[in-house]
Chain A
């Protein structure tokens, strides 16, 4: 079963708006990762946040992690049509077990 569950399953916003996606997971983790997948393409790694970090930024991306609630959020600010994609969180219960991907959020940014 998936370790992570994204919410919402689908999100549609206007260009320029912010998009927020959430991920909840079940077991303790060492880190949580976010990936983007454009239609018909492979996954692209966006950001990795470690369990002792609470917030991380990369360009227009802001990721938070709340280990007490076993949840993370991905915020994309000033969204663009090119941000249209599926976004997956991925976790690993321990360092040497492979990643398990959540169900993903499908983001549509309308120009």
Chain B
């Protein structure tokens, strides 16, 4: 069982739909991440939230809109996605935003997104 919970596990949407991915952790971690992972590739960082504030945006297209309502929740709002956006979207958390690369990250099991 993972300590980071992502919903839904699977999502199929059309290119005109609006949907949201959700991520929740109750470990008291103050850094949260969104990654995109294509098949047989490593995770690619999209966004980092530090103390509920967006601290890193890796030049992600605006059709992906992150939100951090509180220290336990992270959302990724999706709108007008393209077929190439089909991928596994992973959420992760770590304890201290001041040492992002110096601590383990805890991952959820991801949302498998398919764009029709």
Contacts and interface: CB of A to CB of B under 8 A. Distances in A.
Same assembly: yes
Interface of A: 2, 30-31, 33, 40-45, 48, 88, 91-104, 106
A103 B2 CA distance: 23
Nearest to B98: A96
B42 A42 contact: no
Nearest to A9: B40
Given A30-B101, A94-B101, A95-B99, A45 B106 contact: yes
Interface residues of B, number: 27
B75 interface: no
Contacts, number: 69
B34 to A, nearest CB: 11
Chain B contact residues, majority secondary structure: mixed
B42 A88 contact: yes
A16 B90 CA distance: 32
A100 B41 CA distance: 12
Interface string B91-116: 01000001111111111111010000
B43 interface: yes
B42 to A, nearest CB: 4
B101 A48 contact: no
A99 B90 contact: no
A93 to B, nearest CB: 8
